[in-house]
Amino acid sequence: MDKSLYKKITPQGSTYAPLTWEESKRTLASEWSKIRLIVQSEMKSKVFEKALGVFFLAIEPIFMAFVYFFLTQILMRGNLPSGQFLNIYIAVVFWRWLAKTVDGSPVTFASYSSVLKQTNFSVFSLILAYIGVEFAMFLVALMVLFLFATMMGYPPHPSYVYLVFPMMAQLSIMMFLTVLFATAGAFVRDLAGGVNVITGIWFYLSPGIYPVERIPEQYLTYYYLNPFAHILPAYRAIILRHELPPLWPLILITVIGLLCSLGALKLLGRARRHFFSFI
């Protein structure tokens, strides 16, 4: 490529003049600062400037946990393990992090359509900012969970550092699904409804409102193919029992999730130039 060339656009895509190491560092730092700015702005716009913003973020998981608790009381006729409400509440907080992030992903690029149609703003930065915003909102719910657990007799414990393992596993899966559905959502505008259904079914196939022990043994092999059959019990083990959960399934999920995420990011990079007609 001609060194004086800034960018060449062909039917195969765009190619840029290669960056020096210093330029790459500057670009990365600049993109990081942009992601931070977008996260801050979106948090302010979506949460802090709303009348019920933070309150709703804190209360919603508790409310949902009560609904699930009530339903399971009826379905299982009170035949539930002790601490069932906290079990459900923990699952709801972490599950809603995934569900809200993935459910909203198909409209991520549509919500920035004016930016994407008029600038070359990095879609990678946009998707990372979107994940960052959802993570920040999840942190609010997580703090309330820790507070609630403390009130219920489960105060914070050093074992909480183990949370990094299931959270990394969950984040890698979320990253893959978010990038995948965000990319697909740019082309299929009504994808969001379908994704909602998928995550809804997935929740009931995961041990969120019931313990894994309730699954008949002959189905357990298939059941454990669901990453959340490992991730949700891991959260409970750490928060309620202060135990280190089995690591190898979590590490395996993280590695597979990251590899899939890389593939999805590559797909996004290729799809970006076709967004104009669709978003």
CB of 188 to other proteins, least distance (A): 5
For residues 140 and 54, the answer to whether their CB atoms sit within 8 Å is yes
Q: Count H helices and E strands in the chain, helices first.
A: 11, 2
Name which of 120 and 150 has its Cβ closer to other proteins.
120
Query: Residue 106: how many CB atoms within 10 A of its CB?
Result: 26
Distances (CA, A) of 14 to 3, 7, 122, 161, 199: 15, 7, 13, 43, 35
* CA distance linking residue 152 with residue 181, whole number of Å: 38
d(CA 246, CA 234): 8
Pick 32 or 63: Cβ nearer other proteins = 32
Extract the tokens encoding 86. Answer: 């906290």
Inter-residue contact 151 to 60 (CB < 8 Å): no
Look at the block and give the residue holding tokens 């104009």.
Answer: 276
Nearer to other proteins (CB atom), residue 224 or residue 276 = 276
3-state SS, residue 164 = helix
Give the shortest CB-50-to-other proteins separation in angstroms. Answer: 8
Question: CA 185 to CA 194: how far, in whole Å?
Answer: 11
List residues near other proteins by CB under 8 A: 2, 4-11, 13-14, 29-30, 33-34, 37-38, 41-42, 44-46, 49-50, 112, 114-121, 187-189, 273-278
Residue 230 DSSP label: H
Q: Which is nearer to other proteins, 4 or 218 (CB)?
A: 4
31 or 60: CB nearest other proteins = 31
Least distance CB 14 / other proteins (angstroms): 5
**In the complex, least distance from residue 184 CB atom to other proteins, rounded to whole angstroms:** 8
Least CB distance from residue 61 to other proteins, whole Å? Answer: 24
Smallest separation, CB 114 to other proteins (Å): 6
Nearer to other proteins, 49 or 217 (CB): 49
